[in-house]
Structure 1
């Protein structure tokens, strides 16, 4: 009887210790149909594998980055979310969509690590003969509707003197590759983490030219410069210089330093393995740290300092 009691007590103690050691984190990303939701699935798997199950990530669907930031007001120490750094700055300043909605909780937001950026792709068929933006005049272009890529694409046409000089196709972006193949359009604009699946398909089956922006054009867009390395897509023999909207995983100062450290360390250690399954992770490197224009969580900061990452004073 005593032996049974001792065994039960021991089992209880082991279970209690395991429960204490296990950390549960909620990761709020994007709509379930988006690539960013799929990235969240991959991060959850990577955290479980990389920590031996010590960190378990629950993925939540989101309606967008603004919602992710707003929920900081009601969330606890286990909350991780994704958003462009610019939105964090707007929230902390009570500007734009956050005007009149300021909250002290916004000042507790801290960065963990960058994830793949929304990268602009201006994709033209080889048959169109277009190799630069000026050559788009008189061509038929698919922008899509309502997306970040569609809004940016329309903005760039205006900035580069092409407004009203390009025929805009009334076709859904999901049909871009087939429309390009059958000559219904000369090109399309898409924003996604590179390598983007629809660009991979177009490059492999149709033959395309992905347009580069010059430095003056990049300055006009007021977006972050990004280079898509040569060889990313079939037939891409040289680097493509384009623009991007950085996206970062954030938490708040409520999260413990140890948890933030473990999340950040595991992310970078698992990044290459994630990239074997999904190449967009290979575009995440130390260079993307510059896109974090606010403070980094102290726990994450400890990892970056150990790993020798170059950081700015504003990030510390």
Structure 2
């Protein structure tokens, strides 16, 4: 009996001495489940799980929007990763706009990890409308949608370019944009999201459309980032489309340890091309988007970028 007890004790001690298989758990909060950004989160979670051999476990959470994602920083822990435009982080840290009176020291601890596909503006006109520029939208019926970034941005551009009073705004949900375009109920619609946008793909393939390009002067007036959608992205698109975008970035906070931030960033960039084989919106992400990160990058992520030879600004470090 004594021998058995000693043997069991030795085995227990030996097992305890073995290195543990540590699992890194992360919560990734992005957007509503029906959005492309939620699907991106699912793809990132799957890529992290597979590439790490199960050592990185990512749980994707539905979100009601970017503002909520930033606000939750106040109550979240070291495992929190969220997506939002960098501009919102700046507003939160400055206590401005929708964050006025809601400031919190936790906002100052927000740090970037990596860029994801930008919210890209699409001004989609039926080929039958003959529209090739913003001036041609006068007298046409346009669907803007309601409450979304694309709807607000579209309305802003119509005002900015002096045609708001000359455009008929359709009272139709954006989800019905393609059927409404096909049956002639509208002449065009405005949408934002990662490219290629599913509703634009469907419209281009089924009815034939012209996606408007903006001149450099027009882009400068919008005060948004310039983005080029390569020729051939949509059916019948023979030339590049120059438009505007709102950068979106995955963030965490200084509560996350450096090693986890390093692994998340390294795995993301190494798996990006493979994710692009399943969803083309990842093809629009390259290191050129790093310039859209206006705040500080997490030290663990900085380590990866320096190893990979990706230049960072002093303000990002």
TM-score where L is the length of structure 2: 0.95
Unaligned runs of 5+ in 1: none
Match of 2:77 in 1: 76
Distance in 2, matches of 1:225 and 1:213, equals 9
1:35 maps onto 2:36 in alignment: yes
1:249 maps onto 2:216 in alignment: no
1:255-270 aligned at under 5 Å gives the runs 255-270=256-271
Which one of the candidate residues 17, 21, 35 is aligned to 2:20? 17
Aligned-residue offset at 1:135: 0.9
Runs of 4+ in 1 over 4 A off after TM superposition: 2-14
Report which stretch shifted further, 28-37 or 121-130: 28-37
Distance in 1, matches of 2:168 and 2:14, equals 74
Distance in 2, matches of 1:127 and 1:9, equals 78
Distance in 2, matches of 1:289 and 1:53, equals 28
Unaligned runs of 5+ in 2: none
Match of 2:300 in 1: 299
Match of 1:207 in 2: 208
Distance in 2, matches of 1:64 and 1:190, equals 17
Distance in 1, matches of 2:143 and 2:101, equals 37
TM-score where L is the length of structure 1: 0.95
Superposed CA deviations along residues 224-247 of structure 1, whole A, max 9, x for unmatched, are 111111111111111111011111
Distance in 1, matches of 2:148 and 2:180, equals 19
1:137 maps onto 2:141 in alignment: no
Aligned-residue offset at 1:10: 5.0
Distance in 1, matches of 2:13 and 2:146, equals 62
1:290 maps onto 2:286 in alignment: no
Distance in 2, matches of 1:12 and 1:204, equals 61
Q: How many residues align?
A: 313
Aligned-residue offset at 1:59: 1.2
Match of 1:310 in 2: 311
Match of 2:95 in 1: 94
> Helix, strand or coil: the match of 1:189?
strand
Match of 2:169 in 1: 168
Match of 1:105 in 2: 106
Match of 2:196 in 1: 195
Distance in 1, matches of 2:112 and 2:173, equals 35
Distance in 2, matches of 1:192 and 1:26, equals 23
1:123 maps onto 2:124 in alignment: yes
Superposed CA deviations along residues 151-191 of structure 1, whole A, max 9, x for unmatched, are 11111000011111011111111111111111111111000
Match of 1:271 in 2: 272
Distance in 2, matches of 1:244 and 1:303, equals 26
Match of 1:238 in 2: 239
Distance in 2, matches of 1:147 and 1:91, equals 20
1:48-59 aligned at under 5 Å gives the runs 48-59=49-60
Match of 2:151 in 1: 150
Aligned-residue offset at 1:11: 5.2
Superposed CA deviations along residues 186-227 of structure 1, whole A, max 9, x for unmatched, are 111000100000000111111111100111111111111111
Aligned-residue offset at 1:310: 2.4
Give RMSD over aligned pairs: 1.4
Superposed CA deviations along residues 240-275 of structure 1, whole A, max 9, x for unmatched, are 110111110001111111110100000001101111
Distance in 1, matches of 2:10 and 2:36, equals 51
Distance in 2, matches of 1:28 and 1:228, equals 27
- In structure 2, the CA distance between the partners of 1:48 and 1:13, relative to structure 1 (3 Å rule), is farther
